[in-house]
Amino acid sequence: MASFCPKCGYKLSMIDIKPECPVCGINLVYYGMEESLKEEADRAEFEHAASQPAMDRLKAATIGHPVAIVRLVFSLLPLIATLAPMGKVVVNLPYFQETTTINIIAIVNKVFMALDFDYLLSIVNSEMVGKAYIFYFVALLGFVLMALTTIVNIVNLFFSCGKKGIKRNITTAVVGIIFTIVASVGLSMWLSGVTAAVPDIFTGTFNVLGPICVVLGFVLQIVINVIYKKMNIQVKYKDMSKYLLSYDERKALEEKEEAEKAEAEA
């Protein structure tokens, strides 16, 4: 219990065991709680008002306009396009034959799930297929960077309404095209190189359709971002001015609005 009454200043003694002040009668436990609650309410509303513009920009960048929704869908196209066939490998060995269609699923299953780096590093030194496997590493690195670029591009969409949002989206898509071309060239050179070295064992064919689909996905992203920029779509910010008022001012304003609404309906 406080040594003095916070309202009248009466000095409390050991015999003042009641929760009320013996002089002014206020409740010593709950005195000032209303003001504290008002301060907390003000603080919460201020934080809400401060974060609302960011939420408005996020909404505008993703679902705030039909063009933004189309752009969000287009952002997934390069990743979906990696499911298209990019090549085929046929391995012929005594009592064993395997045919593999190369796409993002095959790359994950055949490479990342069981990648033997020691074997790959040793095969690079092979006189027969060593040079071809250098292009294999180039293709592998290109595909990894292309996939990461696609993910980064999706994340960038949520910040498209920033100062450099559109420029960042277009730049990321261009980088994705570059990585796709690098990966495609590496894949083609690897397939043709190993096929030329050991044609009786390994036959690889490159399918340009898959990389074209990926590149087209990035191109569509660039086009939709240019359209978004040309349309000069503005963020619709929610009016948060009343949340910048104090608790008492806000309550008075709300009561006035309710009274005007009731009078209009009457």
Per-residue pLDDT tens over the stretch 4-63? 877 787 777 777 777 788 888 777 777 767 777 777 777 777 777 778 888 888 888 888
Confidence check: pLDDT of 120 > 70: no
Given a contact cutoff of 8 angstroms between Cβ atoms, the answer to whether 60 and 244 are in contact is: no
> Same domain for 244 and 135?
no
Percentage with pLDDT > 90 across the chain? 17
177-234 pLDDT, tens digit each: 999 999 999 999 988 988 888 888 888 889 999 999 999 999 999 999 999 889 888 8
In a domain, 58, yes or no: yes
> Same domain for 42 and 2?
no
> Same domain for 150 and 188?
yes
3-state SS, residue 266: coil
3-state SS, residue 4: strand
Distances (CA, A) of 201 to 96, 126, 192, 194, 204: 10, 16, 13, 9, 10
> Same domain for 17 and 84?
no
> Same domain for 51 and 92?
no
> Same domain for 54 and 84?
no
> Same domain for 87 and 108?
yes
Given a contact cutoff of 8 angstroms between Cβ atoms, the answer to whether 38 and 22 are in contact is: no
> Same domain for 119 and 76?
yes
Percent helix / strand / coil, the chain, rounded to 5: 65, 10, 30
Q: How many structural domains comprise the chain?
A: 3
Q: What is the pTM of this model?
A: 0.72
Given a contact cutoff of 8 angstroms between Cβ atoms, the answer to whether 210 and 78 are in contact is: no
> Same domain for 143 and 22?
no
| Span between the terminal Cα atoms of the chain, in Å | 52
In a domain, 263, yes or no: no
Q: In what order do the strands lie in the sheet with 87-93?
A: 96-102, 87-93, 202-206
131-143 pLDDT, tens digit each: 887 888 888 889 8
3-state SS, residue 155: helix
Phi, psi of 92, rounded to the nearest 5 degrees: -115, 115
Residue 124 structural domain: 66-231
pLDDT of residue 1: 44
> Same domain for 6 and 116?
no
